[in-house]
Amino acid sequence: MTILKWALIFLVISIIAGIFGFTGISAASADIARILFYIFVVIFIVLLILGLTIFRA
């Protein structure tokens, strides 16, 4: 959950920076948020598969 929280924080920073016209900071924050979200999704899928197969017994 910590990775998802950081992704949401960077998303909010990106939106606020975009509103105030800081496009460079906005783009960088959006990229960081996207990368953190993808890492979260990959970890979630791996743990879901492990939970359904290995740890079922």
| Tokens 């990106």, located at residue | 14
Q: Based on the structure, what is the number of domains in the chain?
A: 1
| Tokens 């492990």, located at residue | 50
Domain extent for 8? 3-55
Quote the pLDDT of residue 3.
86
| Tokens 């929280």, located at residue | 5
Rg (CA), the chain: 15
- The tokens describing 45, both together, are 């899928």
Quote the pLDDT of residue 28.
92
Quote the pLDDT of residue 57.
61
Per-residue pLDDT of the chain (57 residues; tens, 9 = 90+): 688 899 899 999 999 999 998 889 999 999 999 999 999 999 999 999 998 888 776
Quote the pLDDT of residue 33.
92
